[in-house]
């Protein structure tokens, strides 16, 4: 048995070696670099996601070899997550939905002159997450995808509830305000065509609202524009961040980030192989876990490096693991990977159980290219950090105009529609108000992205069980996750009660002693 596994691993290494050789053929290598650069650029631009970018490039690939095509499209897909971090950290304007959570602590780090380490650790984490995700694809794709299929709607629902519990508990400040923001996110998430019965809700007959209010447009406004409004209200200083600080993470940063990167890799990988999850959920879950693991959770939201390292790793691990169900079963888990599938199909390569058998050269070259792509992106990104951080030297009176333009273009690019520019502007105004009134943004953004998934999977679970709620306690994994969520919520209350009780005892004892 062990020998058998060893032989398989050896075979995989040989195949991977041949794949690597093929990647270094001039044409393949050229398109790998092109894909990585494009992905990085698309990640930097808010609004344009990798799905739209890949869609635009599919017709171009029809004149290339299938291998070079998919190498490039995959490069765009994973490269995007490297680029998305940059505007999140420097401008509080997330480039991609997966980088939304990075803005929370990343931007605070930049404000404190630690934008360099934030970007540096994001690149390192992304590299590790991406590499491990790809190794999972190379060495255990079939096993992972078969295992992931055991996760059904009820497990998925429970997992989402667990994620919400993790993030709502961690809210610093007023729990009532956090709860209100969470509910607001849920409510806005219900706008659009009902995911189950197909009936429009809260659309007021406006066909543009049928698909709901776009998450990215809201977030760009809420974070990016909201931040500008808050800043220009203050007396505009020449630069908000006078010192740029050290460019790379120091030893302490690396020590602090090691565990978050490891956990982020795992979280991203697991969610990546489940069809239907999104990388935004992976990064949120990682963030929630980090806050709950921290000795001092109050540091989060004020520039904790763990809040950048974990989520940025998770989203890259997610993206690369996303290839596993695609390559083994032909199941695309996200919109972007569905575009890669389209790219494969229009080049005559059909993903599924025979892909590894029938197209070994293609598969192993693409996998090897993904490993090499991670190295290329790391090498790109680390030296670039210095240049990106210089952006912060631009006087804010000029910089904010640039960011403003960025937010408008980003909102437009979401669906090439001016409607989302209005959505962004209105969200920006609310973002400003909420910030002034100290309402936290995190619970709002989280429920906005997770809410519709919770609803969909709750209803799907109940369809599967014909309306029996037993499905939530008869399936072990569902039960464990739901209990975990309950524990996450109850534990802080319990701790608080215990502390209060102890204080009472002590104070009564001291009173008794005094008397």
Partner 1 sequence: MKNKFKLAVSALSIAGLLLNAPSASAAVYPAKGKTITIIVPYDAGGAGDIGARMLAPYIKTAIGATNVEIVNKPGAGSQVGISALAAAAPDGYTIGFTHLPATITTYLDPTRAATYDLTKLTPLAMMVVVPTILVVRAESKYMSIKDLIADAKGGAKVTISDSGILSDGHLASLQLQQLAGVKLQAVHSTGGAATTADVLGGQVSAGTLNVGGATNELIKSGKLRILGIFSKTKDKTFPTAKTAKEQGYPIYVSTSRAISGPAGMSASVVIKISSAIRTAMLNPEFVAKANAAGLYLKFMWPNQLQTYWSDMQTATIPLMALKNS
- Is residue 352 part of the contact set for partner 1 (CB under 8 A)? yes
Structure token digits, residue 179: 């709860």
CA distance 424 to 411: 6
Task: State yes or no: residue 449 binds partner 1 (CB under 8 A).
Answer: no
Q: Give dist(CA 305, CA 107) in Å, integer.
A: 11
- Candidates 222-230, 260-268, 304-312, 453-461; binding stretch for partner 1 (CB under 8 A): 453-461
* CB proximity list for 76: less than 8 A, separation 6 or greater: 35, 38, 39, 42, 50, 53, 54, 57
Count of residues near partner 1 by CB under 8 A: 55
Q: What are phi and psi of 345, to 5 degrees?
A: -65, -40
CB neighbourhood size of 395 (10 A): 12
| Piece in contact with partner 1 (CB under 8 A), picked from 216-224, 252-260, 393-401, 460-468 | 460-468
48 is a site residue for partner 1 (CB under 8 A) = no
The CA-based diameter of the chain, rounded to the nearest angstrom, is 92
Token output for 385: 């950090």
CB-CB contact of 399 with 224 (8 Å): no
Q: Toward partner 1, which CB reaches closer, 63 or 512? A: 63
272 binds partner 1 (CB under 8 A): no
DSSP 8-state class, residue 116 = H
Q: Is 325 in the site for partner 1 (CB under 8 A)?
A: yes
Q: In the set 65, 239, 342, 425, which binds partner 1 (CB under 8 A)?
A: 342
Per CB under 8 A, 197 contacts partner 1: yes
Decide: is 4 part of the binding site for partner 1 (CB under 8 A). Answer: no
Q: Is 192 helix (H, G, I), strand (E, B) or coil?
A: strand
Q: Which of 463, 480, 491, 510 binds partner 1 (CB under 8 A)?
A: 463
Q: Which of 272, 310, 332, 443 binds partner 1 (CB under 8 A)?
A: 332
- Selected from 51, 165, 225, 389, the binder of partner 1 by CB under 8 A is 51
Q: How far is the CB of 156 from partner 1 (least distance, A)?
A: 10
206 to 235, contacts with partner 1 by CB under 8 A?
A: 207-208, 210-211
Quote the CA–CA distance of 303 and 62 in Å, as a whole number. 45
- Does position 341 interact with partner 1 (CB under 8 A)? The reply is yes
Q: How far is the CB of 447 from partner 1 (least distance, A)?
A: 19
Any idea how long the chain is?
Answer: 515
Residues between 53 and 112 that touch partner 1 (CB under 8 A) = 54-56, 58-59
Residue 143 makes contact with partner 1 by CB under 8 A: no
For partner 1, the closer CB: 30 or 345: 345
In the region spanning residues 406 to 425, those forming contacts with partner 1, defined by CB under 8 A, are 415
Count Cα neighbours of 177 within 13 Å in the Cβ-side half-sphere.
14
Separation CA 216–CA 93 (nearest Å): 10
Candidate list 113, 195, 245, 484; residue touching partner 1; CB under 8 A: 195
Question: Measured between alpha carbons, how far is residue 369 from residues 55, 131, 290, 357 in Å?
Answer: 20, 11, 31, 19
The residue range among 133-141, 147-155, 490-498, 506-514 that interacts with partner 1, by the rule CB under 8 A, is 147-155
Rounded to a whole number of angstroms, the minimum distance from the CB of residue 503 to partner 1 is: 50
| Binding residue for partner 1, selected from 5, 7, 10, 350, defined by CB under 8 A | 350
Instruction: Provide the minimum distance between the beta carbon of 337 and partner 1 in the complex, in angstroms, as a whole number.
Output: 9
Question: DSSP alpha helices (H): ranges in 24-114?
Answer: 26-44, 50-61, 66-91, 100-111
Rounded Cα gap, residues 288 and 104, in angstroms: 12
Distance between CA atoms of residues 242 and 244, nearest Å:
6
Among 41, 64, 135, 149, binds partner 1 (CB under 8 A): 149
CB-nearer residue toward partner 1: 192 or 492 = 192
State the Cα angle at 251 between 246 and 92, rounded to 5°: 50
- Residue from 118, 153, 220, 244 touching partner 1 (CB under 8 A): that is 153
Q: With respect to partner 1, which residue has the nearer C-beta, 292 or 415?
A: 415
> Quick check: 464 binds partner 1 (CB under 8 A)?
yes
Rounded Cα gap, residues 186 and 190, in angstroms: 7
| Both tokens assigned to 29 | 């290598």
**Is 398 a residue that touches partner 1 (CB under 8 A)?**
no
Strands, DSSP E only, in 380-481?
none
Q: Which is nearer to partner 1, 152 or 175 (CB)?
A: 152
Contact (Cβ atoms closer than 8 angstroms) between residue 328 and residue 141:
yes
- Residue 52 or 482: which CB sits closer to partner 1? 52
190 binds partner 1 (CB under 8 A): no
Q: How far apart are CA 55 and CA 400, in angstroms?
A: 32
* Rounded least distance, CB 174 to partner 1, Å: 36
Running DSSP on this structure, what letter comes out for residue 354? Answer: T
Stretch that binds partner 1, among 255-263, 281-289, 339-347, 398-406 (CB under 8 A): 339-347
Candidate residues 291, 314, 408, 456; the one interacting with partner 1 per rule CB under 8 A: 456
Regarding 275 and contact with partner 1 (CB under 8 A), the answer is yes
* Core vs surface per residue 417-433: b (16+ CB within 10 A) or e: eebbbebbebbbebbbe
Are 489 and 165 contacting, i.e. CB atoms less than 8 angstroms apart?
Answer: yes
Contacts with partner 1 by CB under 8 A lie at 51-52, 54-56, 58-59, 149-153, 193, 195-200, 205, 207-208, 210-211, 275-276, 325, 329-333, 335, 338-339, 341-343, 345-348, 350-355, 415, 456, 459-460, 463-464, 466
């Amino acid at each position: 048995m062990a020998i058998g596994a060893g032989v398989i691993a050896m075979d995989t290494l040989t195949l991977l070696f041949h794949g690597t050789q093929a990647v270094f053929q001039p044409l393949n290598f050229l398109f790998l670099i092109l894909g990585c650069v494009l992905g990085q650029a698309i990640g930097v631009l808010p609004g344009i996601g990798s799905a739209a970018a890949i869609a635009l490039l599919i017709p171009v690939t029809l004149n290339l070899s299938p291998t070079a095509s998919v190498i490039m499209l995959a490069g765009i897909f994973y490269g995007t997550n490297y680029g998305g971090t940059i505007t999140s950290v420097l401008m509080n304007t997330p480039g991609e939905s997966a980088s939304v959570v990075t803005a929370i602590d990343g931007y605070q780090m930049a404000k404190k002159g630690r934008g360099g380490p934030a970007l540096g650790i994001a690149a390192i984490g992304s590299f590790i997450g991406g590499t491990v995700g790809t190794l999972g694809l190379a060495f255990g794709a079939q096993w992972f995808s078969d295992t992931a299929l055991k996760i059904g709607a009820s497990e998925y629902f429970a997992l989402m509830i667990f994620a919400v519990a993790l993030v709502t508990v961690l809210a610093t400040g007023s729990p009532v305000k956090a709860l209100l923001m969470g509910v607001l996110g849920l409510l806005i998430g219900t706008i659009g065509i009902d995911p189950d019965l197909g009936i429009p809700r809260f659309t007021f007959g406006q066909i543009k609202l049928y698909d709901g209010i776009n998450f990215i447009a809201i977030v760009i406004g809420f974070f990016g524009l909201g931040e500008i409004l808050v800043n220009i209200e203050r007396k505009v200083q020449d630069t908000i961040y006078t010192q740029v600080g050290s460019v790379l993470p120091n030893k302490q940063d690396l020590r602090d980030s090691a565990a978050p990167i490891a956990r982020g890799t795992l979280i991203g990988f697991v969610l990546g192989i489940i069809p239907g999850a999104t990388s935004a959920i992976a990064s949120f879950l990682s963030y929630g876990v980090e806050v709950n693991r921290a000795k001092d959770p109050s540091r989060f939201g004020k520039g904790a490096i763990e809040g950048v390292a974990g989520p940025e790793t998770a989203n890259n691990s997610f993206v690369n693991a996303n290839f596993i169900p695609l390559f083994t079963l032909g199941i695309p888990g996200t919109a972007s990977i569905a575009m890669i599938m389209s790219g494969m199909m229009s080049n005559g390569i059909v993903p599924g159980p025979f892909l590894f058998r029938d197209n070994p050269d293609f598969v192993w070259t693409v996998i090897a290219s993904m490993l090499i792509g991670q190295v290329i992106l790391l090498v790109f990104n680390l030296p670039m950090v210095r240049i990106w951080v210089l952006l912060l030297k631009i006087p804010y009176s000029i910089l904010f105009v640039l960011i403003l333009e960025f937010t408008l273009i980003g909102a437009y690019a979401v669906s090439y529609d001016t409607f989302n520019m209005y959505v962004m502007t209105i969200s920006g105004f609310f973002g400003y108000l909420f910030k002034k009134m100290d309402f936290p943004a995190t619970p709002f953004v989280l429920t906005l992205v997770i809410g519709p998934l919770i609803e969909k999977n709750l209803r799907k679970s109940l369809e599967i069980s014909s309306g029996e709620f037993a499905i939530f306690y008869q399936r072990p994994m569902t039960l464990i996750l739901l209990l975990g969520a309950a524990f996450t919520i109850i534990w802080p209350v319990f701790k608080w009660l215990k502390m209060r009780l102890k204080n009472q005892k002590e104070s009564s004892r001291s009173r008794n002693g005094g008397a």
